[in-house]
Structure 1
Amino acid sequence: MRWKKMVPGAIAICALAVAGCGGSSSDDGGGTTPSDSGTTAQVARGGRLTVADTIGIPQLNPVIRTFGWEEVLFPLLWNGLSKADESGEIVPDLATGWRASADQRTWTFDLRTDVRYSNGRPLTSANVVAAFEYYLDPRTTTQEAGKIASIASIRADGPARVVVQLRSPNALFPAAIVWVKIIDVDNLDQIDKRPVVTGPYMVSDFVPDDHVTLVPNPEYAGDPAPLDELRIVKATDSTSALSALRAGDLDVLWATNPADVSSVESDPDLKTVSPEVPSKYVDWEFDTTSPPFDNVKARQAVAYAVDREAVLESAYYGLGDLAPTNNPLSTNNPFYGGELTDYSYDLEKARALFAEAGINAGDTITWWGTAGANAEWTTAAEIVQASLKEIGIELKIENREVATWADKFYPAGKRFPNFIVPNLASFPPSPADAFGFYREGRCECNWKSPEFERAYEDAMAEPDETAALAKWGTVQEIVNREVPLIIPLQAKLVASLRSNVDGVWMEGGGQLHLEQAGLAD
């Protein structure tokens, strides 16, 4: 069966296609005007909210973040040149707009002139350049490194304009730099004590791995922060956190235990939020350079042997979207498309493909998971184990502590023949990020495909919206056919909150947005 879905219409395309919707694709004009992102809910001015997760925040530098939970602070304290709004559209933030050269290698950003850091210092192009240079410094460890690696140079063109030169074309560059926050590099030695910020809030108190207290930033150039105080705390465990939420001692709980979501949704005093377009996907990795998974038929066989519906319901409590075409993009992503094979559960197809790959009844494959964590991985493994048993293949489940688990396959380049390794990936919903992981040297699956590399680079360089959709469809067709990873589903992280709290939303990767959060008006 072939699966095809293309999203028609310029409105859907513009949700992510920043070259055509975020600015001009030529050097002779164009651009956009500033746009406020966030929910349209009306909230009262004033009041206090307490937000929790079981992970603490160890430090405040957004460049070198340690855990995903630290991202909750980014839009509260800092801004980038661009940002994603609640609909997923890439819109200006510190920039008023942007434009690209015809070859998509030179990007010009015009800056707002009313932005000041919380110490009163005006933000200029020099600050933007200095921040980018800090990200680009090889001595800086940052998760943004892969997204900005193509930057050849960045320079100020006057006090309110920045010009970025890329080594290779990137029609989605404004989407790539959403999480590049423009910190004051002169404040680095004080960033965990008195961070200088540009966002709606600033830090009044910080105890690492315990709490962060935020108050309104009087220098903020946008709408004033709705709350008098926003406190982000570490909860002891998920059970006590949910009890505190029910009691009203907490107002928002970020990563709700999937087993608790249904009870939260049935409680009239509580509600939930989750991403509209999820971009956190479950991925199971092979070593595609070692037998038997150097044979594409063996990888396709595993794809057919996964009962995705059972995995979603039993391992993830139904919190996610099925990935029937083994695609990192969710089926409601504007870039999802192409002529794609449907790998829905079919053991007879799996048996035939296994046999063609030389895997027969009596053979064993090893599942390499984690012990003491990620119980959903073990549940998924048991589902696959039962399916493979029906066709005579044994799935041996081995769970190890996290360091031992990671050492087997990470970083990319290690050999782990005849293993399936469960993992979880979280990217922005842009195809540049989702499929950038498949590029040579990045994925622990060790996949190498010149055909894919050419198609990816061709899609990255395409500014025309309709043509870009078709080219990203070609990228998806290659990945769909070659099955470098098994992707059974996109997982949805769910936040729980008191019913009187509004203005909270979540990006596709689970990033919680509280910039406009407040008490219902």
Structure 2
Amino acid sequence: MAPGNRGERMPRSSRLAAVLTICGIVLIGVVLARQVVHVSTVLVPAEGGTYTEGVVGAPQWPNPVLAAFNETDEDLARLLFRGLTRVDEHSRIVPDLAESWEASGDALVYTFTLKAGLKWQDGAPVTADDAVYTFQLMQSPDFPGPPYLVELWKTVRVEKVDPLRVRFTLSEPFAPFLDYTTVGLLPAHILGNTLPADLVKHPFNTAPIGNGPFILERATSEEVVLRPNPLSDGPKPYLERLVLRLYPDTDAVFAAYRRGEVDGIRAIPADRLEDAAGLPALNLYSAPVAQATWLIFNTQSPPLDETALRRALTLATDRQRLIVDALHGQALPLYGPLLPTSWAYSPAVEQAAYDPEQARALLAEAGWADSDGDGTRDKEGKALAVEIVCLNTPQDVRVAEAIAAQWQEVGVRATVAPLSAGELANDYLRPRAFQAVLYHWLDVTPDPDMYPFWHSTQATDPGQNFAQFRNRDADEIMEQARQTPDTVLRQELYARLQEILRDEAPAIFLYQPVYTMGVRDTVQGVTLGPVFSASDRFRSIAGWYVQTRRVVASQARQGH
């Protein structure tokens, strides 16, 4: 090429081909890069965002020793406080604020060691002083909380061993004792000089200082706003805010969801499930709740003092049909006093299932016959009639009326008397002035104790043996079962008790309800295991999230 010669110009067609080649290479690179990003990264939960839940009822005392009276209080106590122990997803008692505990060989002394370094949200240390104050508070006759707590704790000596250890000494062995150590601790450095009678009036109840996963940011007549507790030693929640929005009834909560005001519904009644299923983007979560509904017979009130009649009525009750017709399928049938999920339940014990023909045969053998053809059996000129008393709620009335209809099929006339809670408790249950009562056992504990319900010493007020059931063998079984720490022996004892209660039929064990909640599909990570109360839905709250971020897949697998 001669000096100064710039060379030959590329033909137009060659230049176009080169440009197209370069563009193609760039386009392929972009496509490949997008494929690499798509294949090599994943979405994972991210911190931030708010979950707002609609709840019925306002808080009154969000205090762990007073919360049993109010569902919203229970929710807040669960989120703001922790106890020495907690109930895990397998219904076992496991350490929470406590690092460990030891029990003496005679099951009379329990010594708990707190984890070191725990703090209240104000920075004060959590110590044995807090445990001593909390449990001694519940020993006072002036304690304004549930009376059963006073009954338990008044005979227990509570003492501080050192700053991180507390000792409980029982007057006699009580196998379910650990269940009662799950109550949230109170801060002694704030409440230590407060008398039990003054607890309900203390400003602590409107501005609680807790040790749980969340702290109270603000509370109004419309909502309660919580945020994560930065001093909690537990898993850090993804949520930046948790809001409980307060409504007067379920209709108002459903309407708020439709308007987009809330992302979740705390509890969906059985008769509203169809409505809930029609709400847009609402995921439903259901689990059996540790409660039981029984129909208790007054075994001292004729004609229900006849064991044969009680057994016949049990055989005449179709639990499955009852659940479908009256409860919209939202319950599990029970055939004994213990929940099937309990470690103490014995599936080997044959229970009295629905058998109307056998029920008719038992009634006939007992001398009950329809002598005048009116459809109701009678004996010695007296009609076989039973009154069922129940709460005046739509669901309880449906259940009682469904049972009455089933009994009529075998010739037993039953009437239903709906009552207010006060009337039922004061005028019927306490004086034992009823024939049959629809009863809800709402506080089933992980370690079931049958003594309060079936021991003969509890047959009069204030005991809860409303059936006035008296059986010496059953008494001895329950006494031994609540005193021995031997789990295998206790299982054997409870199996024998199941057999006695089946044969004597002081009650019809009807069903275990199912709890259902709803959460918008934009809220992820929600799980629901067995629940003892609705507040247990927050057992997995640390894993709930509404925000996500993209990370390299290998980092996600490593938990980054």
Instruction: Provide TM-score, normalisation by structure 2.
Output: 0.77
* C-alpha contact (below 8 Å) 1:273/1:506 kept by paired residues: no
Which residue of 2 is the match for residue 176 of structure 1? 180
Q: Matched residues, percent identical?
A: 24
Q: Which has the larger radius of gyration?
A: 2
* C-alpha contact (below 8 Å) 1:117/1:196 kept by paired residues: yes
Which residue of 2 is the match for residue 252 of structure 1? 264
* C-alpha contact (below 8 Å) 2:264/2:519 kept by paired residues: yes
Q: Could you tell me how far apart the structure 2 residues matched to 1:510 and 1:106 are?
A: 29
Counterparts in 2 of 1:438 and 1:70: CA distance versus 1, 3 Å = farther
Q: Could you tell me how far apart the structure 1 residues matched to 2:152 and 2:438 are?
A: 27
Q: Could you tell me how far apart the structure 1 residues matched to 2:142 and 2:149 are?
A: 11
1:102-149 CA-partner distances (Å, limit 9, x unpaired):
111111111112211112111111110110011121111333517734
Counterparts in 2 of 1:46 and 1:151: CA distance versus 1, 3 Å = farther
Alignment of 1:407-418 (within 5 A): 407-411=426-430, 414-417=431-434
Q: Which among 108, 112, 116 is matched to residue 113 of structure 1?
A: 116
Q: Could you tell me how far apart the structure 1 residues matched to 2:96 and 2:112 are?
A: 11
Structure 1, unaligned stretches of length 5 or more? 1-41
1:228-251 CA-partner distances (Å, limit 9, x unpaired):
211112223323312433443212
Quick check: 1:161 aligned with 2:165? Answer: yes
Alignment of 1:272-421 (within 5 A): 272-275=284-287, 277-323=288-334, 325=335, 327-337=336-346, 339-355=348-364, 360=369, 361=377, 362-371=383-392, 373=393, 375-411=394-430, 414-417=431-434, 419-421=435-437
What is the one-letter code of the residue matched to 1:365?
A: V
* C-alpha contact (below 8 Å) 1:280/1:509 kept by paired residues: yes
Question: Does the residue aligned with 1:113 lie in a helix, a strand or coil?
Answer: coil
1:312-350 CA-partner distances (Å, limit 9, x unpaired):
111111111111x2x233323332106534222122332
Counterparts in 2 of 1:506 and 1:136: CA distance versus 1, 3 Å = farther
Shift of 1:92: 0.3
Q: Which among 439, 464, 472 is matched to residue 442 of structure 1?
A: 464
Q: Could you tell me how far apart the structure 1 residues matched to 2:351 and 2:309 are?
A: 16
Alignment of 1:35-74 (within 5 A): 43-65=45-67, 66-74=69-77
Moved more, 435-444 or 216-225: 435-444
Which residue of 2 is the match for residue 194 of structure 1? 207
Question: Does the residue aligned with 2:515 lie in a helix, a strand or coil?
Answer: coil
* C-alpha contact (below 8 Å) 1:49/1:227 kept by paired residues: yes
Which residue of 1 is the match for residue 102 of structure 2? 99
Q: Could you tell me how far apart the structure 2 residues matched to 1:60 and 1:156 are?
A: 26
1:447-482 CA-partner distances (Å, limit 9, x unpaired):
333322321232233333433322232232233333
* C-alpha contact (below 8 Å) 2:141/2:150 kept by paired residues: no
Q: Could you tell me how far apart the structure 1 residues matched to 2:266 and 2:450 are?
A: 23
Q: Could you tell me how far apart the structure 2 residues matched to 1:146 and 1:322 are?
A: 33
What is the one-letter code of the residue matched to 1:212?
A: V
Which residue of 2 is the match for residue 214 of structure 1? 226
Shift of 1:150: 7.1
Alpha-carbon RMSD across the aligned residues, in angstroms, is 2.5
Alignment of 1:504-519 (within 5 A): 504-505=527-528, 507-512=530-535, 513-514=537-538, 515-516=541-542, 518-519=544-545
What is the one-letter code of the residue matched to 2:402?
A: I
Quick check: 1:205 aligned with 2:207? Answer: no
1:242-296 CA-partner distances (Å, limit 9, x unpaired):
2433443212212202123245457672222233x53211122222232222333
Structure 2, unaligned stretches of length 5 or more? 1-43, 192-198, 370-376, 378-382, 549-560
What is the one-letter code of the residue matched to 1:71?
A: E
Counterparts in 2 of 1:115 and 1:483: CA distance versus 1, 3 Å = farther
More helix as a share of residues: 2
Q: Could you tell me how far apart the structure 2 residues matched to 1:147 and 1:333 are?
A: 24
What is the one-letter code of the residue matched to 1:344?
A: A
Q: Which among 466, 469, 478 is matched to residue 491 of structure 2?
A: 469
Q: Could you tell me how far apart the structure 1 residues matched to 2:185 and 2:176 are?
A: 19
Shift of 1:195: 0.9
Q: Could you tell me how far apart the structure 2 residues matched to 1:136 and 1:467 are?
A: 31
Question: Does the residue aligned with 1:225 lie in a helix, a strand or coil?
Answer: coil
Q: Could you tell me how far apart the structure 1 residues matched to 2:72 and 2:317 are?
A: 31
Q: Which among 133, 138, 145 is matched to residue 141 of structure 2?
A: 138
Which residue of 2 is the match for residue 33 of structure 1? none
Counterparts in 2 of 1:451 and 1:67: CA distance versus 1, 3 Å = farther
Q: Could you tell me how far apart the structure 1 residues matched to 2:211 and 2:484 are?
A: 33
Counterparts in 2 of 1:431 and 1:409: CA distance versus 1, 3 Å = farther
* C-alpha contact (below 8 Å) 1:63/1:181 kept by paired residues: yes
Which residue of 2 is the match for residue 78 of structure 1? 81
For these two proteins, the number of residue pairs brought into alignment is 470
Q: Could you tell me how far apart the structure 2 residues matched to 1:295 and 1:262 are?
A: 42
Which residue of 1 is the match for residue 440 of structure 2? 424
Alignment of 1:25-36 (within 5 A): none
Which residue of 1 is the match for residue 12 of structure 2? none
Quick check: 1:479 aligned with 2:479? Answer: no
What is the one-letter code of the residue matched to 2:436?
A: I
Counterparts in 2 of 1:400 and 1:171: CA distance versus 1, 3 Å = closer
* C-alpha contact (below 8 Å) 1:427/1:434 kept by paired residues: no
1:194-218 CA-partner distances (Å, limit 9, x unpaired):
211110111122246x432212222
What is the one-letter code of the residue matched to 2:131?
A: V
Question: Does the residue aligned with 1:497 lie in a helix, a strand or coil?
Answer: strand
Q: Could you tell me how far apart the structure 2 residues matched to 1:480 and 1:392 are?
A: 22
Q: Could you tell me how far apart the structure 1 residues matched to 2:153 and 2:498 are?
A: 23
* C-alpha contact (below 8 Å) 2:176/2:449 kept by paired residues: no
* C-alpha contact (below 8 Å) 1:320/1:490 kept by paired residues: yes
Question: Does the residue aligned with 1:487 lie in a helix, a strand or coil?
Answer: strand
* C-alpha contact (below 8 Å) 1:296/1:483 kept by paired residues: yes
* C-alpha contact (below 8 Å) 2:62/2:74 kept by paired residues: no
